[in-house]
């Protein structure tokens, strides 16, 4: 009975201490929400396209900042998300091949005949939300975990379709992600319907597409999906207002890469790389427009700066909060499901250079999944009939040039390759030097996927973690990971969330407790102590 009373007293004291801590801590720590839509380019009023009615997203833009130069590092979801959560280029950490890792799937990728593998980075890599959690934040993810690598069990307090900031401790600051798939590529055919002639006639297609009624209909569908997205965004905004948190929360709205259509998604042109980014700040008088160049790898370090959270390892990204540190954007394409097309690009505000590593194949890859879209089937048919636009004919052409150079300012759709124009030689060599250096600096970006797997999995075996150990101290316990570049957590029982363990921290667990060690590519190991 005495032991029970002591334990209860300790828990009460701990609870009171936590409440006091969060009351004081939260005063200087902003709440942050990410509203992440899928597969969208600049199809929004804030960027001059009013085809979709988006009053809630417009409200964020009115009260915040619209960023005009925000770029993904890969024009497809899982590699781009790996860069977001780590602050690292996919070609550095080995996550550039789409669907290399997929949760709860067989051991062999049926499209590549390679094992399903989680990337094993050579450098220290950490899910940045682990750092937030170590700094007192409640981190929730609703609910995408598509990182092209095994998720860290320490990354989130909660990651599921019901995850929400409302489940945090009272006054605890939070970082919450809401993912919306209503605008995903698949919703073009899943939500397909025949739209009115009035709506169709309003559509102005990009110049690389032929003027086609069916393609326009698919564009209308996308705009209708955006309007549904706006309603879902509005629900989150309303919940913040109900909780009295709207004015106290920084809200990011962005897309995971460019639009859902052919030559958008999976494309290294700006149609696939350039994304919307709107941030509603808590501070007054933030300028409404910002043209600084921002990469997806800059999101994590920006959040760490905003939350005053320190990291002990170096990210490739840089914070863009009140700073303009980037003159160049880099991006890569590699395997998309069943097809590989290794392309690399560098871009400044005026020009873009693309290197095509395989010149003996078309830019267009007949990805089976995309064939569900009527637009794709129309383009195939027109190409067979030789009735496509010149740019789409180039897209289908069985070979491609080694280099592509574009004047982005005057040719935003990248239709006129200037590489052979001697007037642009100095620009070409400047950008090529930058791009070559970036390629050379990457750990996995210049080798084949087979070679990547051999380096990551010697002898075809997934690397294994060592068991952690503990050191008994007079005032508690130290945890020793016994694994370099790993993350460590602990909990008293299986019903608790994992607590982040900091190096040399003294903990006072109950008589029975668990320790977890996680390392990207290695997975996790759990050890129970009695």
- Is residue 245 situated within a structural domain? yes
- Is residue 325 situated within a structural domain? yes
Lowest-confidence range among 15-29, 88-102, 161-175, 305-319? 15-29
Is residue 51 domain-shared with residue 23, that is, in the same domain?
A: yes
- Is residue 279 situated within a structural domain? yes
CATH code assigned at 187: 3.40.720.10
- Separation of alpha carbons 95 and 117, rounded Å: 10
Q: What is the pLDDT of residue 286?
A: 77
Full residue range of the structural domain in which residue 358 is found: 335-459
Which tokens in the block code for residue 200?
A: 């169709």
CATH code assigned at 515: 2.60.40
- Separation of alpha carbons 94 and 486, rounded Å: 17
> Is the distance from CB of 150 to CB of 521 less than 8 angstroms?
yes
- Separation of alpha carbons 498 and 518, rounded Å: 12
Q: What is the pLDDT of residue 17?
A: 44
- Is residue 112 situated within a structural domain? yes
- Is residue 119 situated within a structural domain? yes
Q: What is the pLDDT of residues 213-238, one digit of tens each?
A: 999 999 999 999 999 999 999 999 99
- Is residue 514 situated within a structural domain? yes
- Separation of alpha carbons 19 and 143, rounded Å: 28
Give Cα 350 to chain centroid, integer Å: 25
Q: What is the pLDDT of residues 180-215, one digit of tens each?
A: 999 999 999 999 999 999 999 999 999 999 999 999
- Is residue 99 situated within a structural domain? yes
CATH code assigned at 379: 3.30.1120
Is residue 443 domain-shared with residue 473, that is, in the same domain?
A: no
Q: What is the pLDDT of residues 129-152, one digit of tens each?
A: 999 999 999 999 998 999 999 999
Q: Which of 306, 334, 362 is the last residue of a domain?
A: 334
Q: What is the pLDDT of residue 285?
A: 63
Q: What is the pLDDT of residues 5-27, one digit of tens each?
A: 334 444 444 444 444 444 444 55
Q: What is the pLDDT of residue 27?
A: 55
The rounded percent of the chain whose pLDDT value lies above 90 is 87
Strand 274-280 and strand 249-255: the pairing is antiparallel
Is residue 303 domain-shared with residue 361, that is, in the same domain?
A: no
Is residue 329 domain-shared with residue 256, that is, in the same domain?
A: yes
- Is residue 464 situated within a structural domain? no
Q: What is the pLDDT of residue 103?
A: 81
Query: Rounded to 5 degrees, what are φ and ψ at 392?
Result: -70, -30
Which tokens in the block code for residue 311?
A: 């990291």
Q: What is the pLDDT of residue 108?
A: 86
Q: Which of 310, 334, 358 is the last residue of a domain?
A: 334
Is residue 96 domain-shared with residue 240, that is, in the same domain?
A: yes
Q: What is the pLDDT of residues 276-319, one digit of tens each?
A: 999 999 987 678 999 999 999 999 999 999 999 987 789 999 99
DSSP letters for 111-124: TT-SBP-----SS-
> Is the distance from CB of 94 to CB of 456 less than 8 angstroms?
yes
Q: What is the pLDDT of residues 472-500, one digit of tens each?
A: 999 999 999 999 999 999 999 888 999 99
Is residue 323 domain-shared with residue 412, that is, in the same domain?
A: no
Is residue 330 domain-shared with residue 341, that is, in the same domain?
A: no
Strand partners, 329: 347
Is residue 265 domain-shared with residue 376, that is, in the same domain?
A: no
Q: What is the pLDDT of residues 424-463, one digit of tens each?
A: 999 999 999 999 999 999 999 999 999 999 999 998 899 9
Q: Which helix (H) or strand (E) holds 178?
A: strand 174-180
Number of domains in the chain: 3
Q: What is the pLDDT of residue 442?
A: 96
Is residue 441 domain-shared with residue 516, that is, in the same domain?
A: no
> Is the distance from CB of 498 to CB of 518 less than 8 angstroms?
no
Is residue 207 domain-shared with residue 249, that is, in the same domain?
A: yes
Q: What is the pLDDT of residue 136?
A: 97
State the chain's mean pLDDT as an integer.
Answer: 93
Alpha-helical regions (H) of 350-479: 374-384, 390-396, 425-441, 449-456
Question: Where residue 110 falls among pLDDT bands split at 50, 70, 90?
Answer: confident
Which residues belong to the active site?
A: 77
Is residue 58 domain-shared with residue 131, that is, in the same domain?
A: yes
Give the residue carrying structure tokens 């004291």. 13
DSSP 215: H
- Separation of alpha carbons 288 and 507, rounded Å: 46
Is residue 260 domain-shared with residue 402, that is, in the same domain?
A: no
């Amino acid at each position: 009975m005495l032991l029970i009373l002591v334990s209860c007293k300790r828990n009460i004291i701990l609870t009171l201490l936590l409440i006091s801590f969060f009351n004081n801590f939260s005063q200087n720590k902003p709440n942050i929400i990410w509203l992440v839509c899928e597969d969208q380019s600049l199809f929004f009023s804030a960027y001059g396209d009013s085809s979709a009615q988006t009053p809630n997203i417009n409200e964020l833009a009115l009260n915040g900042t619209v960023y005009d130069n925000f770029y993904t590092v890969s024009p497809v979801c899982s590699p781009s998300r790996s860069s977001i959560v780590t602050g690292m280029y996919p070609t550095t950490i080995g996550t550039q091949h789409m669907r290399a890792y997929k949760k709860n799937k067989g051991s062999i990728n049926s499209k590549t005949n390679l094992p399903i593998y989680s990337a094993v980075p050579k450098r220290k890599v950490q899910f940045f939300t682990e750092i937030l959690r170590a700094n007192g934040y409640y981190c929730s993810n609703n609910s995408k975990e598509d990182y092209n690598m095994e998720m860290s069990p320490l990354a989130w307090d909660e990651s599921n379709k019901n995850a929400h900031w409302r489940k945090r401790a009272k006054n605890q600051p939070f970082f919450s992600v809401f993912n919306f798939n209503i605008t995903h590529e698949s919703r073009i055919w899943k939500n397909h319907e025949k739209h009115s002639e009035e709506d169709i006639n309003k559509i102005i297609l990009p110049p690389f597409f032929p003027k086609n009624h069916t393609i326009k209909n698919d564009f209308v569908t996308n705009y209708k999906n955006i309007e549904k997205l706006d309603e879902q965004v509005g629900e989150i905004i309303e919940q913040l207002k109900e909780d009295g948190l709207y004015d106290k929360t920084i809200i990011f709205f962005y897309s995971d890469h460019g639009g859902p259509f052919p030559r958008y998604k999976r494309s290294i042109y700006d149609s696939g790389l350039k994304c919307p980014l709107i941030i509603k700040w808590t501070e007054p008088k933030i300028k409404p427009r910002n043209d600084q160049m921002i990469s997806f790898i800059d999101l994590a370090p920006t959040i760490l700066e905003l939350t005053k959270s320190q990291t002990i390892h170096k990210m490739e990204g840089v914070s863009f909060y009140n700073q303009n540190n980037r003159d160049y954007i880099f991006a890569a394409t590699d395997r998309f499901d069943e097809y590989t097309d290794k392309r690399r690009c560098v871009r400044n505000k005026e020009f873009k250079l693309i290197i095509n590593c395989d010149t003996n194949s078309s830019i267009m890859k007949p990805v089976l999944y995309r064939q569900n879209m009527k637009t794709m089937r129309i383009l195939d048919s027109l190409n067979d009939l030789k009735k496509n636009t010149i740019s789409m004919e180039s897209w289908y052409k069985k070979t491609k040039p080694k280099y592509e150079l574009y004047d982005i300012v005057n040719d935003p759709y990248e239709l006129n390759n200037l590489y052979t124009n001697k007037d642009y030689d100095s620009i070409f060599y400047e950008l090529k030097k930058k791009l070559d250096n970036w390629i050379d600096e990457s750990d996995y970006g210049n080798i084949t996927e087979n070679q990547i797997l051999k380096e990551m999995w010697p002898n075809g075996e997934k690397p294994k973690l060592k068991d952690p150990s503990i050191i008994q101290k007079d005032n508690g316990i130290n945890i020793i990971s016994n694994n370099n570049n790993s993350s460590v957590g602990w909990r008293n029982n299986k019903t608790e969330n994992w607590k982040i363990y900091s190096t040399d921290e003294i903990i006072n667990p109950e008589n029975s407790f668990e320790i977890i060690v996680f390392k990207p590519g290695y997975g996790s190991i759990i050890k129970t102590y009695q």
